[in-house]
Amino acid sequence: MLQVADILGESVVDGKGLRTVVFLQGCPHGCTGCHNPKLWPSKGGKDYTSGALAAAIIAKMSPIHRGVTFSGGDPLAQAEELLQVIKSLRKIKPELNVWVYTGYIFEEIKDYPVLQEINVLVDGPFILAKRDISLPFRGSGNQRIIDLPKTFAQGGLIQELSL
């Protein structure tokens, strides 16, 4: 079961294009200045099975949606369940573009199986002293936008350069 705080049907600030955004409950990082501190506790929100969450996401998408973004909290606090959701989504929409925001850095989590199913990872904790509202799709300058398929194919970290 996944703990889901909310599902937003339409967003243009949580990744490229029109996206559905899923806010997962639970975050171990506790970043000062976090914009979702209510999502830190692992308990809260609504319980979903991976199949039910995939169906709820698809129900909110229109033909012009570019993809889905998982945010939080920290989605990777529920990494195994998230993997099942993404696999369920890909059975329905194989071309679906998937972004995930995490407070972990890529080097800490590079072996998580779920990363093989994600297109873009925005990594790193929010650091209030490095807050920069001019940066696209992230809150602080230490956070990176990583193209995971290219990173794994080329064997070195590839940041998304075409924002």
Domains located in the chain, CATH noted? 2-154 (3.20.20.70)
Question: Which residue matches tokens 């979903």?
Answer: 48
Nearest alpha-carbon partner for 119 in 151, 161, 141, 78: 151
Tokens matching residue 74: 């920290």
Say yes or no to pLDDT of 163 above 90: no
Render 14-71 in DSSP notation, one character per residue. Answer: SSSSSEEEEEES--S---TT-S-GGG-SSS-SEEE-HHHHHHHHHHT--TT--EEEEE
Round the average pLDDT of the chain to a whole number and report it.
95
pLDDT digits (tens, 9 = 90+) for 45-104: 999 999 999 999 999 999 999 999 999 999 999 999 999 999 999 999 999 999 999 999
